[in-house]
Amino acid sequence: MMYLITFSCYGSHLHGDKRGSVDPNHNLYRNPVLELDDDRRRRELSDLTHTPYRLEQRQRDVVLQSLQEVCLHNCWWLVAAHVRSTHVHIVVDAERSPEFVMNAVKTRASRLLNQSGLEPHVRKRWARHGSTRWLFKPESVNRAVKYVLDEQGERMSVYEEPPR
């Protein structure tokens, strides 16, 4: 199955911020996202056990390498990936659930970041879950790839499947 998977860095996308979000009580298909709620955002920020995490260029490159490695190891087809300062997008074809894939890529990314020596091992890096969207049609895959590669602002650490 083909998926668009997105996950955020720890503390970078809190419920109540202006970009909107989804919480367990509002996680229904095609429902609107949560609206701006400064009080909730401030409460969530004060509840963080670590400072919000941001990926600098060296960390983004390590995460991108980890995405490629975990997909190769598991025989998953990585179609596109974009590692941003505060979140990661991938379009991937895998014969596992999207939640399994997301957890596998987060785990491998954390392991490689630990091995890189760029930051402490005890650092919280990723938000608890993320977004997992099934892509059933070729048009959906093409739209997802365009979104990941071209609609995120300036490209940071990017992988794009070479043309066949």
pLDDT at 154: 96
- Is there a domain that residue 126 lies in? yes
pLDDT at 34: 56
Cα distances (Å, whole numbers) of residue 14 to 19, 20, 35, 90 = 9, 9, 12, 21
Q: What is the pTM of this model?
A: 0.84
- Is there a domain that residue 154 lies in? yes
Please, what sign has the CA dihedral across residues 132, 133, 138, 142? negative
- Is there a domain that residue 71 lies in? yes
- Is there a domain that residue 46 lies in? no
- Is there a domain that residue 145 lies in? yes
Please, what sign has the CA dihedral across residues 130, 101, 147, 116? positive
The tens-digit pLDDT sequence of the chain (164 residues) is: 999 999 999 876 665 555 655 555 555 555 555 565 666 667 766 676 778 889 999 999 999 999 999 999 999 999 999 999 999 999 999 999 999 999 999 999 999 999 999 888 888 999 888 989 999 999 999 999 999 999 999 999 999 987 65
Residue 108 maps to which CATH number?
3.30.70.1290
pLDDT at 97: 97
- Rounded Cα distance between 52 and 7, Å, is 14
- Is there a domain that residue 43 lies in? no
In the chain, the number of structural domains is: 1
- Rounded Cα distance between 9 and 145, Å, is 21
pLDDT at 119: 86
Contact 16, 41 (CB under 8 A): yes
Could you tell me the residue range of the domain that residue 124 belongs to? Answer: 2-10+55-160
pLDDT at 75: 97
